[in-house]
Amino acid sequence: MSDIEEYTRRIMQAKAYIDNGLCRVGPGMKAERRLEAVLTGIASRCLALADSVVQLCRQDNPNEALPILRQLAQSAADMGWASAEDSDARAQRLLKERTEITWETLWPHERFRLRAQAAGMSDEDITDITSRAVDFLAANAKTAPWSHIFEENQKEGAAAEFVLRYAARMMGFCLKALDAKWPGSFPGSEAMWEKP
């Protein structure tokens, strides 16, 4: 099995863990519990984001998946940050942020770094995710005619293996945050938390 197939399998496996676990805890949820609202809502978003990453990588467009990967990382960090304290106050803050966000304020580096650290992400994870804006902006894996003759247009960007590896890793952090809130409700997902 290739690395791409393995990371894709892990992402699909994360979906199954999330679906099964939330079905277990769902009957006990209460609409007024803000942390539960945040964790389930962001987990739903993570599923859609990870699926989009997989689809773009399958179509040989991993560079175009980088902004989606960045949002997946932010979402996983937000979940871990909120669940680290089992905090309705943090959840309320996230809900407020989500209604006030603009494109200009979507991905502040310092907010991501602090929340990613609280979620247990390594400095390597944080740097690898945040250092790819240049790749997204300038890489030309599929070039327009004659563009390739200019050195500035020869940057290849992110490989599918990189993007899928980090998407699988971020889904692991998503599961870790869910398990922190509902311990034991996502059996088997512990292996997802390990660095692929």
> Nearest-CA neighbor of 50 among 1, 98, 20, 7?
7
CB within 8 Å of 20: residues ≥ 6 apart: 186
Query: What pTM value is reported for the model?
Result: 0.93
pLDDT at 46: 98
pLDDT at 141: 59
Q: Which of 144, 147, 141, 172 is nearest to 159 (CA)?
A: 141
pLDDT attached to residue 142? 61
Contacts of residue 177, defined as CB under 8 A and 6 or more positions apart, other chains included, come to: 39, 76, 79, 80, 82, 83, 119
Q: Backbone phi, then psi, for 154, in 5-degree steps?
A: -100, 5
Name residues whose C-beta falls within 8 Å of residue 37's C-beta, 6 or more positions apart in sequence.
31, 91, 95
Q: Residue ranges of the chain with pLDDT lower than 50?
A: none
Average pLDDT, the chain: 92
- Sequence-ordered alpha helix ranges (H) in the chain: 3-25, 34-58, 66-84, 88-100, 109-118, 123-130, 133-138, 160-181
